[in-house]
Amino acid sequence: MEKVFSRPRSLKKTPFHYCPGCGHSLLHRIVGEVIDEMNLQEKIIGIPPAGCAVLAYNYFYIDMGEASHGRAAALATGLKRALPDRVVFTYQGDGDIAAIGTAETLHAAARGENFTTIFVNNGVYGMTGGQMAPTTVLGQNTTTSPGGRKEKRDGFPVDLSKMLAVTKGSAYIERTAVNSPANILKTKKAIAKAFQIQLEGYGFSLVEILSPCPTNWKMDPVEACRWIGEVMTISFPLGILKDVTGEKKDAY
Amino acid sequence: MTKVLMRGNHIVGESAIRAGCRYYFGYPITPQNEIPEYMCQRLSKLDGGTFLQAESEIASIHMVIGASMAGGRVLTSSSGPGMSLKQEGISFLSALELPAVIVNMSRGGPGLGNIAPAQSDYLQATRGGGHGDYRNIVLGPSSCQELADLTFEAFNLADKYRIPVVILGDGMLGQMMEPVELPLELKIKKLPHKDWILTGAKGRPSRFIRSLILDPVEEEAHNWKLMRKYERITKEEVKWETFLAEDAKMMVVAFGIAARIAKGAIKRIREQGLKVGLFRPISLWPFPNKVIKEFTERIRHFFVFEMNMGQMVEDVKLALGGSSEIHFYGRPGGIVPTPLEISRVITSKYHQKRLG
């Protein structure tokens, strides 16, 4: 019988530690599939963050170097500058990238650093127990925004991808979600495109993925996927925010 | 070998490049700005050289981590406030066992302080400086020649032990010019082979470098592994110098530029016939505990002089274990005392203790 579905070669046979319904398991698989299909396993280096995905190196059969909280873009800069012919990507959550790591990320984009960032946005600090994140939407209940996020008390959510899109130096910024089969396919396509843009030397590429966190959202997985579509995408609309591939490489 | 007249900060850059350093990441801060400026000029003309002015000290130290993970010899430098910001990354370098060389041309503090020479970062440097249980190798040069030699050696030590090495200088050492004999340039191809770096898993199993070790049993084992490394360094990498110590009745203990001033003071004091010598730790961590303790067999008085409120004096007390009298004189805040001032203070103590 022909085998039509199996574990990607670049994923280890280690069961994920992620909660049921968590988007990280899906995304690890998607990244693994893209690495396999683009034949990058022997030239890619991943940088996991501090956060739920900190143990990513337990799951990928690729070289990985862990960053401290928020500093993945700086680490990737040093690594990619030293090894310009390798493919380098960071894998970061919303607290990691859009709060403590804003400066590192924005400046890496402004310099046009030629690496890729996979930005997993689930609107909470998951690993620490569901505190308010920079991307928590107004009205969203967390352990540190009780009764829902209020702009006067807690400030507005940060749209980092939009900021990065207006920054000269970034080459490709797309926001997708993993809340439906169609969106999962779009996410896979976006990640493959981001890696391709890096291979072609255009500069900084980032895919932001709206991802469910049923545990901290206190929803079941189906409800969580629906909430992404109905609530989260109002603050964070899906689509390509920037793509310079039609332009000359030195357009910026 | 001919000597060249160079400024301390430029010497750091040239020595680093001769040691095979091809990556520099940093952020401007006085009094060390000539290091990034020199590295920018030199690295831009070198094959495979990377200079990057980062958006912050925090970013720069994490760029150092990235380049070190890739196997490069990498340098960063700063002063006082900037060193505080780098401590997060230095803790990670230690945990990840990554080699790197970090130069601190220290200045008056705390806070912004000033940009005058000071030795106020001794404890920060020698106790690790960041969170967690670790030590860095810390070297304290007292002349431009030593700055050249120790910068070069720092890269070898960093690779040998997979450890961050801190060069603890000060604003005076960075800014002053002296004739130096520069170290011979290493061939990049002859640098040590590293079998742990991240290069993409081509033709080998994949690797990872991480500091998160959730299992306390494993984390403890990792800490003991670091401890064994530190014990080895403590045995093998202790450096010091003595000056007119043979017949001394009072031993001055000073490091870095303060030791240079103390030497001048001791020369004056000797002219008066007083028997005063100098003990100068060159490796500040590991501190030369055993060597200095041996002097207590015949010397009862140790006079510690530092350009701070008293930091290394704690190490001297630990080393001597109460077996001698320890006197202290310090000038914090960026004050550089003259040899004459120091000679008067030492002479006064010498007579007070009826040594002469």
B296-348 confidence digits (pLDDT tens)? 999 999 999 999 999 999 999 999 999 999 999 999 999 999 999 999 999 99
Contact B67 A76 (CB under 8 A): no
For A143-179, the pLDDT digits (tens) are 999 999 999 999 999 999 999 999 999 999 999 999 9
Express each pLDDT in B127-176 by its tens digit: 999 999 999 999 999 999 999 999 999 999 999 999 999 999 999 999 99
Q: Which of B193, B208, B236 is the last residue of a domain?
A: B236
Same domain, yes or no: B52 and B78: yes
| Intra-chain end-to-end CA distance of chain B, in Å | 44
Flag if A74 and B23 touch (Cβ within 8 Å). Answer: no
Q: Are residues B43 and B165 in the same domain?
A: yes
| pLDDT number for residue A1 | 84
Q: Same domain for B209 and B250?
A: no
Do B66 and B111 share a domain, yes or no?
A: yes
Residues B24 and B96 in one domain: yes
| B209 vs A66, A71, A81: nearest CB | A66
Say whether residue B55 is in contact with chain A using an 8 A CB cutoff: yes
Reported as a single tens digit per residue, the pLDDT across B57-91 is 999 999 999 999 999 999 999 999 999 999 999 99
Name the residue among B60, B72, B92 with its Cβ closest to that of A68.
B92
Mutation target for A interface from B65, B75, B91: give the one with most A CBs within 10 A: B65
Tell me: do B247 and B230 sit in the same domain.
no
Whether B115 and B205 share a structural domain: yes
B129 and B263 co-located in one domain? no
CATH number of the structural domain spanning residue B200: 3.40.50.970
Identify which of B55, B69, B212 has the shortest CB distance to residue A54: B212
Structure tokens at B223: 């800490």
Same domain? For B225 and B340 the reply is no
The residue out of B193, B212, B236 marking a domain boundary is: B236
Domain count, chain B: 2
Range of the domain at B318: 243-352
Contact A136, A149 (CB under 8 A): yes
Alpha-carbon gap, residue A197 to A245, rounded angstroms: 8
What integer pLDDT is reported at residue A252 of this predicted model? 42
Please report the DSSP string for B257-274 in residue order. Answer: HHHHHHHHHHHHHHHTT-
Q: Which amino acid is at A28?
A: H
Task: For the domain covering A23-243, report its CATH number.
Answer: 3.40.50.970
CB of A226 within 8 Å of a chain B CB? The answer is no
pTM of the model: 0.97
In this structure, how many other beta carbons lie within 10 angstroms of the beta carbon of residue B266? Answer: 26
Note whether B232 and B255 are same-domain residues: no
Per residue in B180-201, pLDDT (tens digit) is 999 999 988 888 899 999 999 9
The segments of chain A whose pLDDT lies below 70 read 247-252
Are residues B14 and B159 part of one domain?
A: yes
Q: What is the CATH number of the domain that holds B289?
A: 3.40.50.920
- Measured between beta carbons, the chain A residues lying within 8 angstroms of B70 are 78-79, 82-83
pLDDT of residue B188: 83
Last residue of a domain, one of B236, B251, B286: B236
CB–CB contact A81 B198 (8 Å): no
Interface subset of A 79-118, CB within 8 angstroms of B: 79-83, 86-87, 103-104, 107, 111
Section B210-227 average pLDDT: 97
Q: Of B75, B51, B65, B67, which Cα lies nearest the Cα of B130?
A: B65
Crossing angle for the helix pair B144-161 and B8-18, nearest 10 degrees?
40
Tell me the CB-side half-sphere exposure of residue B92, using CA atoms within 13 A: 27
Whole-number average pLDDT of chain B: 97
Q: Does B92 touch chain A (CB under 8 A)?
A: yes
Inform me whether the pLDDT recorded for B1 exceeds 90. no
Beta pairing partners, B138? B166, B285
What confidence score (pLDDT) does residue B190 get? Answer: 84
Q: How far is A38 from chain B (nearest CA, A)?
A: 14
Tell whether B248 and B156 lie within a shared domain.
no
CB atoms within 10 A of CB B288: 22
